Chains A and B, each alone.
Chain A
Amino acid sequence: DAGITQSPRYKITETGRQVTLMCHQTWSHSYMFWYRQDLGHGLRLIYYSAAADITDKGEVPDGYVVSRSKTENFPLTLESATRSQTSVYFCASTGLAGANEQYFGPGTRLTVT
Chain B
Amino acid sequence: AQSVSQHNHHVILSEAASLELGCNYSYGGTVNLFWYVQYPGQHLQLLLKYFSGDPLVKGIKGFEAEFIKSKFSFNLRKPSVQWSDTAEYFCAVNGGKLIFGQGTELSVKP
Contact = CB atoms under 8 A, between A and B. Distances in A.
Interface of A: 33, 35, 40-45, 48, 58, 90, 92, 97-99, 101-102, 104-107
B63 interface: no
B43 A102 contact: no
B98 A99 contact: no
Interface string B27-68: 000001010100000111110010100000000000000000
A41 to B, nearest CB: 6
7 contacts: A33-B98, A40-B102, A42-B6, A45-B98, A98-B32, A98-B95, A101-B49
Top 10 A-B pairs ranked by shortest CB distance? A43-B100, A42-B102, A104-B44, A42-B100, A104-B43, A101-B46, A106-B43, A42-B103, A98-B94, A42-B101
B96 interface: yes
B9 to A, nearest CB: 8
Contacts of B90: 42-43
Interface centre among A41, A43, A92, A97 (most CB of B within 10 A): A43
B71 interface: no
A45 B43 contact: no
Nearest to A58: B97
Nearest to B90: A42
Contacts of B102: 40-42
A32 to B, nearest CB: 12
Contacts of B101: 42
Nearest to A31: B98
Given A41-B102, A92-B44, 19 more contacts: A33-B98, A40-B102, A42-B101, A42-B102, A42-B103, A43-B90, A43-B103, A44-B100, A45-B97, A58-B97, A90-B43, A97-B94, A97-B96, A97-B97, A98-B95, A98-B96, A101-B49, A104-B43, A106-B43
A78 B96 CA distance: 26
B34 to A, nearest CB: 6
Nearest to A106: B43
